[in-house]
Structure 1
Amino acid sequence: MGRARKSSTKRATLADVAKVANVSAITVSRVINQPGKVSPELGQRVQEAIDMLGYIPNQSASSLASARSGVIGVSIPSLSNVVFNDVLRGIYDVAGASDYKVLLVDTHYSPLEEEKMVRTLLSQSPEAMIITGGDQTRACERMLAKAGMPVVQIMELLEQPLDMNVGFSHYQAGYDVALKMLATGCNQLGFVGARMDARVQQRMAGFVDALRAKNKLNQEYIVTTPEPSSIALGGELFRSLLSASSGAVDGIFCCNDDLALGALFESQRMNIKIPTEMSLCGFNDFETSAYVNPSLSSVHVPRYEMGVKAAEMIINVLNDKGVADKTLDIGFEVILRQSSRASVPPQ
């Protein structure tokens, strides 16, 4: 019984599949790696043998033999942040259509963790990498340079990308939000930020510079925390900003929609009328933002398209088609809704 149990749990081999399907091992390998080169009938017979035996191909051996892994490594700061869902969907859609697999890692918004995760990804012999932002460690940059593969940095526009870049200017987005809110009649604008990663800091810098240029900046109206963003935290920071400004603030730019929604809900609990007494604007334009009451102004970024373009750049380079422009500004749009005064119809 002991010997039988040990035999039954033995991992199936390529030779086992070939024997059951009554074909050569080379034919099995071709069915797995080049299915278009075998007849549908033969492919089905081999697949049935694979399914019956529970055979798992040795990807490492296959990659070594072909010098192609069929894998694209993707590094993002957070698997729990829904901001990256649309980006990943775009990457997966393009990669899957081109028969590439995606190997995904979470860096937890830490450059050191990113360095560690990139090293792990590179050990799996990916053919290309898509990474987030431009705040990699020097060691991480060196690893990617020595890997000699296509690399696309996403989510922000970089002056000196490692290779290719698809993103937008967070600085300009923050700048434009300030100008739009001032144009609606706001005079005392504040900023609320959480986590304060590099991209949030860029948004804040643009917002602050725009206010400074208009002589409207009050540093006491800038409230930030390194804590992770949440709706509950948005309500807390909203109260903190009102306290710091003695209630003088009449418009708030929140670094994301989580905080903005928290501020909106807290304003309702405090009987502060939006937008007549206070204007609010978020960032990321979540679906929820358009359907709360009042609907929330936000900055829309075409995140799905960003993922698509990044993956298309990778696929084009891997297929020797080249890329006409290695830097792509995907753009953004400041959408004013009912939480901004400009969207209130005249009485």
Structure 2
Amino acid sequence: MQREAPTLAHVARLAAVSENTVSRVIRNKGPIAEETRKRVIEAIDSLGYVPNRAAGALASSSSLIIGVLLPSLSNIVFPEVLRGIHAALADTPYQAMIGVTDYDLLQEQKLLGSLLAWQPAAIVTTGFDHTDASRRMLEQSGIRIAELMDIDDRPIDIAVGLSHRGAGRESARHLVARGYRRIGYVGHDWSADRRAHFRYEGFRQGLQEAGLSPAAEFRFEGASSTMAGREALAQLLGRGGDVDAVVFSNDDMAVGGFMHCLGAGLAIPERLALFGFNGLDIGQALPRPLSTIRSNRFLIGRTAAEKLLEARERPAEPQIIDTGFEIVEGATA
């Protein structure tokens, strides 16, 4: 026989308090005596009671859900952002509800519709690219919205991240300052990664400021990966690319380039300098730590969640929060 699921009334009876008191403890609303809170929590644990968040949302026209839409959880960049979000929510009653879009804007639209049906307190998305329908849903929802990773556009509510054009420009300036003049570029498909395209535009601008242009370029027609970086650098050099340094679209690609150089007997950085983006641990674990730009991914996630919880109303003007980046000198450039 199936057992009856414990209810709010069961918890109230066991804790010897009113149902309203149990509800306030669960929602962390209003003054509650510490002894009373302890009894309610012990009753919840004893009964295995699970609060009905959906019912609470319908009753209050809001919920304790923060919807989070990320492009990927296999790319180490985004789990670090998620860690920052969870760190900010840890001591609050709010919980993250996560959806993965696989860099697909239509999938983001579908997941966004599902999340908004739960009447979340806020939504976190990645970047400024949305379908028209998604943008309308976000704008008309009236709830707080954070668009992460990028600040090179106007946000709906708040944007938290870094200037990717600025990062690309600094990569070129760094290499030029170190005496490199024949600087190439190796990247991946931009169709699903506009931020990589912005870094490329900044890279070209940085070269232009020094009176230079890319000495050679090759883009892999697919997603970034270590294998893609290895193949792409081999293709660029195999086509006679006369370069003394290469900027990669990210660290994954740069690590692959490093592996190609090892296999081909190309001394790094004496024969070829390599420069990445992201500041991933794998790049710093190479025999020669990768020269790169580190983005503050944990800080991006934590700052976004903290700012969303500061006020329930959107500000009169959209806000941009620059978490910055730093050059990691490494030993490959």
Please say whether Structure 1 and Structure 2 have the same fold, judged by a TM-score greater than 0.5: yes
1:343 matched to which residue of 2? none
Change (3 A) 1:97 1:106: same
TM-score of the superposition, structure 1-length normalised? 0.87
Q: CA deviation at 1:213?
A: 4.8
Q: Distance in 2 between matches of 1:44 and 1:329?
A: 41
1:179 matched to which residue of 2? 173
1:146 matched to which residue of 2? 140
Query: Are 1:69 and 2:63 an aligned pair?
Result: yes
1:206 matched to which residue of 2? 202
Q: Which has the higher mean CA deviation after the structures are superposed, 89-98 or 110-119?
A: 89-98
Q: Distance in 1 between matches of 2:13 and 2:214?
A: 77
2:212 matched to which residue of 1? 216
Aligned residues of 1:317 and 1:323 also touching (Cα < 8 A): no
2:310 matched to which residue of 1? 316
Q: 2:324 is matched with which residue: 305, 320, 331?
A: 331
2:253 matched to which residue of 1? 259
Change (3 A) 1:31 1:236: same
Aligned residues of 1:35 and 1:43 also touching (Cα < 8 A): no
Change (3 A) 1:293 1:117: same
TM-score of the superposition, structure 2-length normalised? 0.91
1:127 matched to which residue of 2? 121
Change (3 A) 1:53 1:146: same
1:345 matched to which residue of 2? none
- AA paired with 1:235? R
Q: 1:82 is matched with which residue: 55, 76, 84?
A: 76
Change (3 A) 1:249 1:321: closer
Q: CA deviation at 1:217?
A: 2.5
Q: Distance in 2 between matches of 1:329 and 1:218?
A: 28
Query: Are 1:239 and 2:240 an aligned pair?
Result: no
Query: Are 1:189 and 2:162 an aligned pair?
Result: no
Query: Are 1:57 and 2:73 an aligned pair?
Result: no
Q: Identity of aligned pairs, percent? A: 36
Q: What SS does the aligned partner of 2:150 have? A: coil
- AA paired with 2:322? D
Rg larger in structure:
1
- AA paired with 2:202? G
For these two proteins, the number of residue pairs brought into alignment is 331
Q: Distance in 2 between matches of 1:69 and 1:198?
A: 32
Q: Distance in 2 between matches of 1:175 and 1:23?
A: 62
Query: Are 1:281 and 2:275 an aligned pair?
Result: yes
Q: Distance in 2 between matches of 1:26 and 1:139?
A: 39
Q: Distance in 2 between matches of 1:218 and 1:253?
A: 10
Q: What SS does the aligned partner of 1:155 have? A: strand
Q: What SS does the aligned partner of 2:269 have? A: coil
Q: Distance in 1 between matches of 2:22 and 2:124?
A: 32
Change (3 A) 1:324 1:86: farther
- AA paired with 2:234? R
Unpaired runs of 5+ in structure 1?
A: 341-347
Q: Distance in 2 between matches of 1:299 and 1:20?
A: 56
RCO higher in 1 or 2 (8 Å CA, sep ≥ 6)? 2
Q: CA deviation at 1:63?
A: 2.0
Cα deviations by residue, 1:131-151 (Å, 9 ceiling, x for unpaired):
111111111110011100111
Q: Distance in 1 between matches of 2:123 and 2:187?
A: 30
Q: CA deviation at 1:125?
A: 0.8
Q: What SS does the aligned partner of 1:160 have? A: coil
Q: CA deviation at 1:293?
A: 1.7
Change (3 A) 1:308 1:31: closer
2:86 matched to which residue of 1? 92
2:96 matched to which residue of 1? 102
